[in-house]
């Protein structure tokens, strides 16, 4: 029953190691360190697959079925309360990342500690039953198991259920998508996709390069094929998203009974094949392509330095021309690494424009939420349903922030690609920058303040009526007193009733108007707070994009400048080398150039870039706002 073993690391790892040793022997420790990082990425690719979905859709049991082990807690109620990663190791183990200072939960300098725990006690830390409301301040958990499906670097991330993918809790789930290689959206076969699930799929496809859908619990619902057909229609509208119908219980039973036919019936072989071919295979191609870029860059720089010195030794009469060309190239390289370089200007201007566009996009989306909320408030009494209105505003604000972050993430990636093209005509790797993260964005935003529901007791209503009727009784009683009638008479009582009713209605309308104005003020305060807090964090993250890209491409410009400088120094030194030592140096240089030429032939060709699904910007789809009460006060 064991799944087919994932292939070991690519042979390119040995080539990277050999080139790194050769770079170190020539004194280029900077190039050697760069290849050490490349080698580490190849040996441990760390392919993250995040499993997302609403509560009780079968996410945890899906991971358990994939790895043939009960690692993720499963409960009839809410189970997983913190993110949990399942990866490979020769010996099983478990650990949690724990925040030691609860008071610093919103501080960027909070203290985080990794604590090893017994594997059998894992549920006490990551489940809602053992850790209600995350009272232990667990940030995440990690489980390592000796499973063949995980050997190739696959890491399965079990995310907490989000209780409605349009809620503010979905921000924590979306925060992990930009760092994930693939996403599995799990929904059970009890019903077709909801609107929040479809919207979440659209967001996921714009952030993550690889998205798939899983229809779970097919063994519990006989009509699951009809649901699968309906879901496929929804997926065709979203984009190219494969769907896999599976039964985790059948998979676990098949593993226990060693029954291959039962395993095929569970639907898991197709899902496992997708993870290997489309997730692990795609990530391997991307890592190998990046490694080939690094290898070619290092080999070219080493070859340039060695060949320049060799030509100066073999052709001393041509050395002055060669030195002049190198001086010119070094001057250009020096300009290229300066602040006035074209790629630097493009990066700086692009970030400035992106910050301005981001602020406008965020304000535009949140003002739309504000206008819709104020319109609903004006249509009736917001007091009796203020909790529903507050929940809706919170969800819409979270959706608006999410959409802005997804759009900003797309723009920042596009900007990085533009800078890479200007830097070296597309031959440079692009740094991975987590701009789409939305974790903790709304933590610093105070919740919407409560609003008076406007309900009055019978005594207060009687008091308002009596207070209003007093003037009518007195006015009509005095007028009828002129004709000899008593102050309190049928006419004055009737007038008091009419005046009191009118005063009561006017008081009710005045109270309603005050509640509406107060509700609008609370909405505006909340929207302003979201814009202030989220806008600041977005600006900080875009500045991080600028610094990361600047450091990444700047270090490569420094490498090129150093290579040209060493080639120039080598040519000048070769021009003054005595004949007795020249022959030895020529032999040494020819030997190293031969090694580099041999390595160049070993380096594989660039693998084709895996196709990436892209979607145009879609407007935020929102469910209808709860309408305010239109009941007429009595």
Per residue, what are the HEC states of 108-138? Answer: CCCCEEEEEECHHHCHHHHECCCCHHHCCCE
| 168-182, 401-415, 437-451: the lowest-pLDDT one | 437-451
Total domains, the chain? 2
Residue 10 in this model has a pLDDT that exceeds 90: no
- Among 235, 266, 297, residue at a domain's last position: 266
CATH number, residue 105? 3.40.50.300
CB atoms within 10 A of CB 294: 22
Distance, CA of 306 to CA of 290 (rounded, Å):
25
**143 backbone dihedrals φ, ψ, rounded to 5°:** -120, 130
Residue 21: the pLDDT is 84
pLDDT digits (tens, 9 = 90+) for 303-321: 877 777 777 777 767 667 7
Distance, CA of 286 to CA of 10 (rounded, Å):
12
| Residues 6 or more apart whose Cβ sits within 8 Å of residue 473 | 487, 488, 492, 493, 495, 496
Banded pLDDT at 389 (limits 50, 70, 90): confident
Pair (387, 447) in one structural domain: yes
Helix axes 342-378, 490-575, angle to 10 degrees: 170
| Residues 6 or more apart whose Cβ sits within 8 Å of residue 283 | 45, 47, 153, 181
- What the block records as the tokens of 416 is 């990085």
Please indicate, yes or no, if residue 3 is contained in any of the structural domains.
no
**How far, CA to CA in Å, does 537 sit from each of 14, 108, 282, 438, 505?**
42, 12, 32, 10, 48
| Residues 6 or more apart whose Cβ sits within 8 Å of residue 381 | 454, 512, 515, 516, 628, 629, 630, 631
The DSSP output letter for 338 is S
Average pLDDT over residues 534-552: 80
Residue 634: the pLDDT is 36
Alpha-carbon torsion (402, 353, 533, 365), positive or negative? negative
Distance, CA of 172 to CA of 167 (rounded, Å):
10
Which residue matches tokens 């600047």? 550
Distance, CA of 539 to CA of 535 (rounded, Å):
6
| Residues 6 or more apart whose Cβ sits within 8 Å of residue 92 | 119, 143, 144, 145, 146
| 86-90, 394-398, 473-477: the lowest-pLDDT one | 473-477
CA dihedral 177, 182, 184, 185 (to 10 degrees): 40
CB atoms within 10 A of CB 342: 12
The DSSP output letter for 162 is -
Residue 487: the pLDDT is 61
Average pLDDT over residues 52-70: 86
Residue 589 in this model has a pLDDT that exceeds 80: no
Pair (361, 381) in one structural domain: yes
Residue 270: the pLDDT is 93
Please indicate, yes or no, if residue 276 is contained in any of the structural domains.
no
Pair (36, 68) in one structural domain: no
- What the block records as the tokens of 90 is 């020769």
- CA 287, distance to chain mean position in Å, is 21
Banded pLDDT at 567 (limits 50, 70, 90): confident
- What the block records as the tokens of 258 is 């060693």
Banded pLDDT at 230 (limits 50, 70, 90): very high
Average pLDDT over residues 112-132: 80
Please indicate, yes or no, if residue 274 is contained in any of the structural domains.
no
In this structure, are residues 5 and 88 in contact, taking their beta carbons and an 8 Å threshold? no
Give the containing element (helix H, strand E) for 39.
Answer: helix 29-43
pLDDT digits (tens, 9 = 90+) for 358-379: 888 989 999 999 999 888 888 8
Pair (456, 332) in one structural domain: yes
Which residue matches tokens 């079968």? 58
Largest CA distance in the chain: 144
The DSSP output letter for 200 is H
Pair (133, 36) in one structural domain: no
Highest mean pLDDT among 379-383, 541-545, 615-619: 379-383
| 43-47, 185-189, 236-240: the lowest-pLDDT one | 43-47
Strands 47-52 and 182-188: parallel
Distance, CA of 39 to CA of 19 (rounded, Å):
11
Residue 238: the pLDDT is 81
Banded pLDDT at 344 (limits 50, 70, 90): confident
Pair (100, 39) in one structural domain: no
- What the block records as the tokens of 261 is 């036919």
Determine if residue 454 is left, alpha or beta; phi over 0 gives left, psi from -120 to 50 gives alpha, anything else beta: left
Pair (204, 309) in one structural domain: no
- Among 205, 237, 266, residue at a domain's last position: 266
Pair (214, 291) in one structural domain: no
Please indicate, yes or no, if residue 398 is contained in any of the structural domains.
yes
Distance, CA of 165 to CA of 194 (rounded, Å):
9
**215 backbone dihedrals φ, ψ, rounded to 5°:** -100, 110
The SS3 call for residue 231 is helix
Residue 88 in this model has a pLDDT that exceeds 60: yes
Give the containing element (helix H, strand E) for 216.
Answer: strand 211-216
Which residue matches tokens 């740094």? 431
Please indicate, yes or no, if residue 588 is contained in any of the structural domains.
yes
In this structure, are residues 132 and 123 in contact, taking their beta carbons and an 8 Å threshold? no
Instruction: Supply the range of the domain harboring residue 473.
Output: 11-44+283-634
**How far, CA to CA in Å, does 97 sit from each of 115, 121, 130, 161?**
6, 15, 16, 19
Residue 154 burial (CB < 10 Å; 0-12/13-18/19+)?
buried
Residue 27 burial (CB < 10 Å; 0-12/13-18/19+)?
exposed
Pick the closest to residue 564 from 316, 319, 325 (CA basis): 325
Determine if residue 239 is left, alpha or beta; phi over 0 gives left, psi from -120 to 50 gives alpha, anything else beta: left
Residue 382 in this model has a pLDDT that exceeds 50: yes
Banded pLDDT at 614 (limits 50, 70, 90): very low
In this structure, are residues 143 and 85 in contact, taking their beta carbons and an 8 Å threshold? yes
Distance, CA of 367 to CA of 535 (rounded, Å):
14
Residue 108 in this model has a pLDDT that exceeds 70: no
Pair (243, 104) in one structural domain: yes
Pair (199, 114) in one structural domain: yes
Please indicate, yes or no, if residue 313 is contained in any of the structural domains.
yes
Helices and strands of the chain, counted as H and E runs:
17, 9
Please indicate, yes or no, if residue 390 is contained in any of the structural domains.
yes
- What the block records as the tokens of 507 is 């008081």
Distance, CA of 310 to CA of 577 (rounded, Å):
12
Pair (20, 51) in one structural domain: no
Query: What does the H/E/C string look like for 403-434?
Result: HHHHHHHHHHHHHHHHHHHHHHCCCCCCCCCC
Average pLDDT over residues 137-153: 85
Which residue matches tokens 């692990």? 280
Pick the closest to residue 159 from 139, 173, 144 (CA basis): 173
Instruction: Tally the residues of the chain.
Output: 634
Please indicate, yes or no, if residue 435 is contained in any of the structural domains.
yes
Strands 138-145 and 93-99: antiparallel
In this structure, are residues 299 and 582 in contact, taking their beta carbons and an 8 Å threshold? no
Distance, CA of 581 to CA of 573 (rounded, Å):
12
Strands 182-188 and 154-158: unpaired
Distance, CA of 428 to CA of 624 (rounded, Å):
47
- Among 240, 266, 292, residue at a domain's last position: 266
Pair (379, 504) in one structural domain: yes
Determine if residue 258 is left, alpha or beta; phi over 0 gives left, psi from -120 to 50 gives alpha, anything else beta: left
């Amino acid at each position: 029953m064991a799944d087919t073993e994932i292939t070991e690391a690519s042979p390119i790892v040995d080539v990277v190691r050999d080139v790194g040793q050769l770079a170190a022997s020539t004194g280029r420790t900077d190039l050697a360190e760069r290849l050490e990082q490349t080698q580490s990425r190849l040996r441990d690719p760390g392919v993250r697959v995040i499993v997302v979905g609403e509560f009780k859709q079968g996410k945890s049991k899906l991971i358990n079925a994939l790895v043939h082990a009960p690692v993720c807690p499963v409960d009839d109620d809410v189970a997983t309360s913190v993110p949990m990663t399942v990866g490979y190791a020769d010996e099983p183990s478990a650990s949690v990342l724990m925040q030691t200072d609860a008071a610093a939960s919103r501080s960027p300098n909070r203290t985080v500690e990794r604590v090893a725990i017994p594997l059998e006690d894992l549920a006490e830390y990551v489940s809602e039953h053992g850790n209600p409301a995350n009272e232990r301040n667990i940030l995440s958990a990690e489980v390592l198991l000796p499973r063949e499906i995980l050997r190739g670097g696959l890491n399965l991330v079990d995310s907490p259920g989000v209780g409605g993918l349009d809620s503010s809790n979905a921000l924590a789930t979306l925060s992990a998508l930009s760092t994930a290689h693939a996403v599995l959206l799990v929904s059970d076969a009890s019903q077709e996709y909801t609107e929040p699930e479809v919207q979440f799929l659209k967001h996921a496809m714009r952030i993550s390069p690889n998205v798939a859908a899983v229809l779970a619990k097919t063994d519990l619902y006989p009509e699951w094929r009809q649901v699968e057909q309906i879901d496929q229609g929804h997926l065709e509208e979203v984009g190219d998203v494969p769907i896999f119908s599976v039964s985790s219980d059948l998979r676990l039973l098949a593993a226990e009974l060693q029954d291959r036919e039962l395993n095929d019936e569970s639907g898991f072989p197709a899902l496992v094949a997708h993870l290997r071919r489309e997730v692990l295979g795609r990530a391997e191609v991307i890592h190998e392509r990046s490694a080939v870029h690094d290898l070619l860059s290092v080999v070219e720089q080493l070859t340039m330095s060695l060949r320049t010195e060799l030509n100066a030794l073999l052709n001393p009469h041509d050395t002055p021309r060669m030195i002049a060309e190198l001086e010119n190239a070094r001057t250009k390289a020096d300009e290229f690494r300066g602040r006035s370089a074209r790629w630097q200007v493009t990066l700086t201007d692009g970030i400035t424009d992106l910050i301005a566009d981001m602020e406008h996009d965020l304000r535009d989306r949140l003002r739309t939420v504000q206008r819709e909320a104020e319109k609903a408030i004006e249509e009736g009494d917001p007091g009796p349903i203020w909790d529903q209105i507050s929940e809706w505003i919170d969800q819409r604000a979270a959706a608006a922030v999410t959409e802005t972050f997804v759009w900003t993430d797309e723009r920042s990636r596009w900007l990085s690609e533009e800078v890479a093209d200007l830097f070296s005509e597309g031959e440079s790797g692009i740094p991975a920058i987590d701009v789409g993260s939305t974790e903790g964005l709304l933590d610093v935003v105070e919740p919407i303040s409560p609003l008076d529901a406007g309900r009055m007791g019978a005594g207060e209503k009687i008091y308002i009526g009596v207070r209003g009727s007093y003037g009518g009784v007195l006015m009509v009683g005095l007028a009828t007193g002129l004709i000899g009638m008593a102050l309190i008479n049928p006419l004055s009582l009737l007038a008091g009733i009419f005046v009191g009713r009118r005063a009561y209605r006017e008081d009710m309308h005045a109270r309603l108007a005050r509640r509406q104005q107060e509700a609008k003020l609370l909405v505006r305060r909340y929207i302003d707070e979201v814009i202030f807090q989220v806008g600041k964090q977005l600006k900080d993250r875009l500045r991080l994009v600028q610094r990361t890209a600047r450091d990444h491409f700047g270090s490569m410009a420094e490498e090129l400048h150093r290579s040209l400088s060493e080639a120039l120094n080598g040519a000048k030194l070769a021009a003054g080398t005595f004949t007795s030592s020249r022959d030895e140096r020529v032999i040494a240089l020819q030997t190293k150039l031969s090694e580099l030429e041999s390595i160049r032939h070993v380096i594989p060709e660039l693998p084709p870039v895996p196709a990436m699904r892209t979607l145009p910007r879609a407007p935020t789809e929102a469910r209808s706002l709860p309408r305010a009460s239109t009941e007429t006060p009595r």
